[in-house]
Amino acid sequence: MSEARVLRQDRDGLATLTLNRPDKLNALDNESFHEFDAHLADLERQTETIGCVVLRGSGRGFCSGADLTSISPGTLQFKPRIIDRLAALPQPTIAAVHGVCYTGGLELALACDFIVADAGARFADTHGKWGLVGAWGMVQRLPRRIGAQAAKAMMMTGQVHSAAEAHAIGLVDLLAGEGEFETRLAGFAGQILANSWHTNGHTKRLMRLADGMSLEQALQYQRDNEPGRAPDYEDRIAAFSRRGQGVAK
């Protein structure tokens, strides 16, 4: 029996999915996508027990992109849908990037809510090198994240960006210094988990579903779809009051 392409570990409300083809720099083949999809389907149903999801890679890097030997016309449709499923996951998601994050790997990271990068991480879109067009979300998600001009330059040159450069253009949300990656990642995920999962989930949902609306339309959409208070709202207020702070900040 072959080893799993995607591993899952749960701890204290945090689910960590680890791409597990270290000998291939976690290149994504068809089996990787099928396993990944199964994990996402489970997570969609686990909003009461999982409040944050981290996606990372085993071995020397996050993900080198698609396994080019697995690309065929019959696989062109289901893979983008799985990455869209990642983007729509109810829980906040973090791409934890070390080493390479290239092409299809970058498309995976862009589908996450946040990108946390190690100081030695490297980012690139190399579709042009192979005569391919990014079909997993690159062409649409990258300009929305870093702006049209920076995205065109990144996609049309194939230039490799250091973690510091990626942070400077807004691709990376949190840049960890040398030797600080695991600590910074755990701290950031912990902050998310400490917040109301109800608030986090509905904030993500409302932002996603109102994307592209005018401000007036988006405001009305939110008013029409107000999710109300979290089930633990009263407990949170009581705990706040016991601390003697008295005023919400």
Task: Quickly state the pLDDT bin for 240 (edges 50, 70, 90).
Answer: confident
Query: Burial level of 29, CB count in 10 A (0-12/13-18/19+)?
Result: middle
Given strand 161-162, what is the order of strands in its sheet?
A: 100-102, 122-124, 161-162
pLDDT at 200: 96
Q: To the nearest whole percent, how much of the chain has pLDDT over 90?
A: 83
Query: For 192-229, what is each residue's pLDDT tens digit?
Result: 999 999 999 999 999 999 999 999 999 999 999 999 88
Instruction: Quickly state the pLDDT bin for 73 (edges 50, 70, 90).
Output: low
**Closest C-alpha among 88, 29, 87 to residue 63:** 29
Query: What local confidence, expressed as pLDDT, does residue 149 receive?
Result: 97
How many whole angstroms separate alpha carbon 46 and alpha carbon 106? Answer: 26
Asked if the model's pLDDT at residue 2 lies above 80, the reply is no
For the chain, the helix, strand and coil percentages under 3-state DSSP, each to the nearest 5 = 45, 15, 35
Of 29, 34, 82, 44, the C-alpha closest to 15 is 44
Residues 77-103: tens digit of each pLDDT:
789 999 999 999 999 999 999 999 999
Which residues have a Cβ under 8 Å from the Cβ of 105 and sit 6 or more positions away?
26, 28, 57, 61, 62, 63, 64, 65
Instruction: Report the SS3 class of residue 74.
Output: helix
pLDDT beyond 90 at 74: no
Mean pLDDT throughout 21-45? Answer: 96
Q: pLDDT tens-digit profile of 145-195?
A: 999 999 999 999 999 999 999 999 999 999 999 999 999 999 999 999 999
12: left (phi over 0), alpha (psi -120 to 50) or beta: left
pLDDT surpassing 60 at residue 247: no
State residue 72's pLDDT score: 63
3-state secondary structure (DSSP) of residue 120: coil
- What are 9's two structure tokens? 């570990």
Q: What percent of the chain has pLDDT over 70?
A: 94
| Count of residues in the chain | 249
Look at residues 132, 9, 113 and name the one whose alpha carbon lies nearest to residue 65: 132
